[in-house]
Structure 1
Amino acid sequence: MAEQHLQAFLDDTSFYNRIVLGHLLPSAWWQPLPHVLQTWLRNYIAATLLYFISGLLWCIYIYYWKRNVYVPKDAIPTKKAILLQIYVAMKAMPWYSALPTLSEYMIESGWTKCYSTISDFGLPLYLVQLAAYLVICEFGIYWVHRELHDIKPLYKYLHATHHVYNKQNTLSPFAGLAFHPLDGILQAVPHVIALFVVPTHFRSHIALLFFEAIWTANIHDCIHAKIWPVMGAGYHTIHHTTYRHNYGHYTIWMDWMLGTLRDPVDDSYGKEM
């Protein structure tokens, strides 16, 4: 039974590999590779495509289609600034891709509490477990992010790479993954730690890891959606200007509980920066 359980994970990851690699690369380029390298290559290609597609569409929407609606003309980042963000992100992307590859390897090996189908626990319990998974991620990412600021060597050698984008006209959706590789990995590690703490649906874990690329693009676009309790771009823009507030990831709850929350005053807040 245990072997069938683990085989289901392997079947899933092999299917994902075939979907991505089989449609984009000649078979001779990837089929001879060991399974773990196929998985890394699939994650690298998928993450890169997601980064460029989500970032490009979002930039077209806010800087051209809705020009001067969400962001004033003088707050639009230059092409040079955006290209630099892309350069930093692409240098880190091979390393970012190693984390989901490692998590999939550990899941396939039976080291985690992952399960393959929602019917294993039923929908109500799945939703409770998903909520617990997200709480662990929120807690973990908050503290990793905060310590990347509080521990001076970590800030100097890792997190400062990201904080050169410190005002509205240097932030863009492409800044979302512009980190030192180790910094980006550390902030995503809570997604993996959660697998050892709470039973987690495998496909939901993979989807949430890749959702990070979309989410980080969103919170670096300087548009504050004002959806409580979401840690939207208005909050995150404040983080990039004060460096001491709004460390949270998806929500404002951790910052609210620990006294590091700073609310955007109004729509003109970003312009006043």
Structure 2
Amino acid sequence: MDLVLNVADYYVLTPYVYPASWPEDGALRQIISLLVLTNLGAVVLYLGLGTISYYFLFDHNLKKHPQFLENQVQREIKHALTSLPWISIPTVALFFTEVRGYSRLYDGVTESSLGWPGIFLSTVSFLFFTDMCIYWIHRFLHHKLIYKLFHKPHHIWKIPTPFASHAFHPVDGFLQGLPYHIYPFLFPLHKVLYLALYIFVNMWTISIHDNDYHVPSALTSIINGSAHHTDHHLFFDFNYGQYFTLWDHLGGSYRHPSALMGKGPHDLIRKLQAEGKLGNDSVQAKGRAHRGIACKEE
């Protein structure tokens, strides 16, 4: 994060914002700057990537689904934008320790004994480490003593849109993002790669909420895509993983996506259209009875 902070200092903060009496390496100045940059970056990534996904990938026909809530998109966005500032507070504390040099982030490829192969290994280990951690954190958040406190708000969205991706309770959002921030304190990681992975993580989080089932069929049992995650929202006890299905297989929580068996949300809409039921207000109203897909009560 110090790369972003340095660029912001050089081009904006030092010449136009802060008085000359505030040194760039001052702790208070760095904390304030990180708060602003973290919130700004999170909102830009969320709204920017979410909007692209919503208009170019998300099937708007899904808004006809019986479990799609009234004004859901607006509610998802409002929920996310309300939570992100709170999530940023503990996140900035971690960014601040990184900027102060307490992590294992490094600047140049030559600083790693593994060189360029280390970049590849870091990427792979980052994905597998964070996927493992998120699986268990996510599963923990589904425990009956925890679920209603923190994770239930995210499960309001039975048929999520890309904007549901960051619509978490702040505690939920921070805990599921924590593995990304812990990794560079445990393992060496190039600073530019860390930023690239941070962007990738946000892209992936949005992608598994877009209801666009684009994972190649040969990888369906390996890659956790939106078809898997849609079933997580619908059926609750399955597919906790982030990128892969490895821990769901090991933990006995893997469910083959219903959408790939002709029993998904799109299939229900086609069925209702064929039956001429989608014009009925009782089908579209909030709190409607479920038809075709039996979702677990929470």
TM range (shorter): 0.7 to 0.9
Residue 221 (structure 1) aligned with residue 210 (structure 2): yes
Identity over aligned pairs, percent: 27
Q: Is the 8 A contact 2:69 2:157 kept in 1?
A: no
Shift of 1:59: 1.4
One-letter amino acid matched to 2:165? G
What amino acid is the match of 1:201? H
Matching residue within 201, 211, 216 for 2:190 = 201
Q: Does the CA contact (< 8 Å) of 1:17 and 1:39 recur in 2? A: no
Matches within 5 A, 1:132-143: 132-143=125-136
1:222 alignment partner AA = N
Alignment of 1:40-51 (within 5 A): 40-51=35-46
Which sections of structure 1, spanning at least 5 residues, go unmatched?
A: 1-8
Q: Which amino acid aligns with 2:32?
A: L
Other structure's SS at 1:112 match:
coil
Cα offset, 1:62, TM superposition: 3.5
Instruction: Give the conservation status (yes or no) of the 8 Å contact 1:148–1:154.
Output: yes
Contact 1:47 1:210 in 2 (8 A): no
For normalisation by structure 1, the TM-score amounts to 0.82
Q: 2:91·2:174 contact (CA, 8 Å) conserved in 1?
A: no
Confirm whether residue 128 of structure 1 aligns to residue 121 of structure 2: yes
Q: Quick one: which amino acid aligns to residue 134 of structure 1? A: L
Aligned partner of 1:165 in structure 2 is 157
Does residue 269 in structure 1 map to residue 272 in structure 2?
no
Query: 2:47 matched to which residue of 1?
Result: 52
Residues of 2 paired with 1:96 and 1:180: CA distance?
Answer: 9
Cα RMSD (Å): 2.6
Alignment of 1:100-111 (within 5 A): 100-111=91-102
Q: Compute the displacement of 1:18 (Å).
A: 4.3
| Structure 1 counterpart of 2:234 | 241
Give the superposition deviation at 1:248: 0.2
Matched residue, 2:276: none
1:98 and 1:191, CA in 2 relative to 1: closer, same or farther beyond 3 A? same
State the SS of the aligned residue for 2:57. helix
AA at the equivalent of 2:73? I
Distance in 1, Cα, partners of 2:247 & 2:50: 27
* Shift, 1:36, TM fit: 1.8
Provide the C-alpha distance between the structure 1 equivalents of 2:151 and 2:230, rounded to a whole number of angstroms.
16
Specify the code of the residue in structure 2 equivalent to 1:125: G
> By how many angstroms is 1:113 displaced?
1.7
Match for 1:41: what amino acid? V
CA contact (8 A) 2:213 2:226 kept: yes
TM-score norm. by structure 2 comes to: 0.76
The CA deviation at 1:231 is: 0.9
Q: In structure 2, list runs of 5 or more residues that go unmatched.
A: 23-27, 269-292, 294-298
Q: Which residue of 1 aligns with 2:251?
A: 258
Higher deviation after alignment, 203-212 or 188-197: 203-212
- Following superposition, the deviation at residue 30 of structure 1 comes to 9.4
Contact 1:100–1:209 (CA under 8 A) maintained in structure 2: no
> Take 2:193 and 2:70, find their aligned partners in 1: how far apart are those partners?
35
Counterparts of 1:208 and 1:114, CA distance in 2: 13
Q: Please, which of 74, 86, 110 is the counterpart of residue 83 of structure 1?
A: 74
SS at match of 1:97: helix
